[in-house]
Chains A and B, each alone.
Chain A
Amino acid sequence: MISPPLLYALIMLAAPLAMVVTFSFWSQNYLDLDTTITLKNYKEAWSKPIYRVLILRSLNISIMVTLVTVLLAFPMAYFLSFRVKRNKALWLFLITIPFWTSYLLRVFLWKVILGYNGVLNSALMGLGIIDEPMTFILYNLNAVVITLAHAWAPFAILPIFVSLERIDRSLLEAAEDLGDGPFRRFFRVTLPLAMPGVIASTLIVMIPTVGDFITPKLVGGTDGLMISNMIQIQFGKANNAPLGAALAIASMVIVGSVSLVIFIAGRWFRGRAQ
């Protein structure tokens, strides 16, 4: 029974991934593919400042996006789990509805909201809160962070919500009976027990952020361009697929190691709390 899906995954996933790894050790001059094994692409990716800058920036943006998204999502998940008594499913459904429109349009609409003559600026100016349009919210890092904090919201809320739901409520009562105030109780009982969900949503948000090239392109301006934009350019206009493959693998390895560190740190935190 398992063999058809396994076979499919092997052909469509394992084989292509193996191919990308091989490709990254090849080189290309316009249309000719040179299949001698070389580390040239990795050397180029490491030594040319542009690639290093883009990779580091992608990592930086991913970490910022993840922090903001998870911090914003946690109180919402907490609210859903501890304050909503009936109709939890309805609340969850309400949260997921905005995310079933075209992803492209959602990103584009943020551009409409954050722009110089955008919704936010005209509203704030109409209300007399600001005198001239704010320019620090579009075509830079902030815009990327806001847009992605929105785009990943349900992926951050749901894992945290699930882990909060699993917390045995009597533990919280016990902490209170033993003299913990609401703050101590939260940091010593609730948060450590919710940690698996927090870690899961951190990874779920961080990994695809590195791979996103639409948001940086639409709202990021030049300061917000990320490594995925460069990978896309190498496969497209620059026509240097081997370099693109090397960049893709380099960024995957870096994100993979950061994810591993976060995962292990989360385990350690939980272990210490128990």
Chain B
Amino acid sequence: MRLTRFLSKNWLLTYAALYVAFLYAPVILLPLFAFNESTIIAFPLTGFTTKWFTVLFESTALHQAVKNSLIIGVVTAVLSTILGTCAARAMVRFGFPFKRGIVSFIMLPLVLPEIIVAVALLVLLMQLGFPLSIWTVIGGHVLICVPFSVAILSSAFQGLDKNLEEASLDLGETGWGTFRRVIFPLILPGVISSLLITFTISLDEFIIAFFLTGTDVTLPVYIWSQLRFPAKLPSVMALGTILLVLSVLLLVLGEWFRRRSAKQQGLDPASGGGFMQ
């Protein structure tokens, strides 16, 4: 009786708790099966083992996929953050003709289904006779990562005091020197946050990588190929567990940098422009 009274009074809280449980349901299973003795992914659990992690350390195909994904992730993060910095600075500081149109065009990949982006790039590359490699995947990933980078960095630029730049120019710095010595250090936390988030997006991205990867598979494409073999599943779970922990660490780090930058510029760190909004 007390329970029903509690539920009817706090139905919204109850709903929220159930919803969060729904959100976490698949993720909770990941470590459970990663450390489970049995090859079959089902309950009841049979016993504790770390052998699936050992399997991972011995697979050379996996190591190659991880290496490819890391290269793609790092290059994508750097390129899209550079492009994102240019776009965000131009958006926040300057007016130019067709501004709205150009900005929405750069942000367009956010709302375009990934399969369209992937197919479009594939068709163009096929027509140009361009061989598929990790560079074609990077090309696609930069395209979808730039909008995220722009969103993060435009909030960093918005908090920038225009007078600091003008002071630096008045004191005889060149445009590049001002950027390097005044602007860049101030937006650095935003830049780091953008690097981390675009890296994470690239690392997880499957559809574009699936279409544009040649023989050099990425990690998600490797996982996709493993899902067909029931015997490989427990080690895929182990891999997923490692990835989850790494992603969360990277994101916590990214968020920490974003908050630090917001605090430096005297903004409310809980509001505006983070990857969570």
A residues near B (Cβ < 8 Å) are 1-6, 8-9, 12-17, 19-20, 23, 72, 75-76, 78-80, 83, 88-89, 92-98, 100-106, 108-110, 112-113, 115, 117-119, 122-123, 150, 153, 158, 162, 203-204, 207-208, 210-214, 218, 228, 231-232, 235, 241, 244-245, 248, 252, 255
Contact = CB atoms under 8 A, between A and B. Distances in A.
A171 B84 CA distance: 39
Contacts of A75: 12, 15-16, 19
Contacts of A1: 86-87, 89-90, 93-94
A2 B121 contact: no
A76 B123 CA distance: 41
Contact of B124 (A3, A16, A150): A16
Contacts of A214: 206-207, 224
B86 A231 contact: no
Contacts of A207: 111-113
B245 to A, nearest CB: 10
B43 A122 contact: yes
Contacts of B23: 95, 98, 150, 153
Contacts of B119: 20, 231, 235, 244-245, 248
B16 A8 contact: no
A73 to B, nearest CB: 8
Contacts of A244: 119
Nearest to A94: B20
B7 interface: no
A9 B106 contact: yes
A208 B109 CA distance: 11
A41 B12 CA distance: 51
Interface centre among B93, B115, B227 (most CB of A within 10 A): B115
Given A100-B248, A122-B42, A122-B43, A213 B115 contact: yes
Given A2-B90, A101-B27, A112-B41, A15 B124 contact: yes
Given A72-B19, A211-B113, A6 B12 contact: no
Contacts of A6: 87, 102, 105-106
A178 B207 CA distance: 53
Given A17-B120, A98-B27, A150-B26, A83 B13 contact: yes
Contact of A248 (B25, B116, B206, B236): B116
B173 interface: no
Nearest to A208: B113
Summarize A's interface: helix, strand, loop or mixed. Answer: helix
Contacts, number: 214
29 contacts: A2-B94, A2-B102, A4-B86, A5-B83, A5-B84, A6-B102, A12-B140, A17-B116, A76-B15, A76-B19, A89-B276, A100-B204, A100-B251, A101-B27, A101-B244, A102-B220, A103-B204, A104-B224, A105-B223, A105-B236, A108-B227, A109-B27, A112-B33, A118-B42, A119-B42, A122-B44, A208-B114, A213-B115, A231-B115
Interface string B84-110: 101101110110100000100110110
B126 interface: yes
A13 B118 CA distance: 10
Ranked nearest first, the 5 interchain pairs of A and B with the lowest CB-CB distance are: A211-B113, A16-B120, A109-B26, A1-B90, A2-B90
A92 B276 contact: yes
Contact of A100 (B83, B200, B236): B200
B26 A79 contact: no
B21 to A, nearest CB: 11
Contacts of B204: 100-103
B223 A104 contact: yes
B108 A252 contact: no
Interface in B14-45: 15-16, 19-20, 22-27, 29-30, 33, 41-44
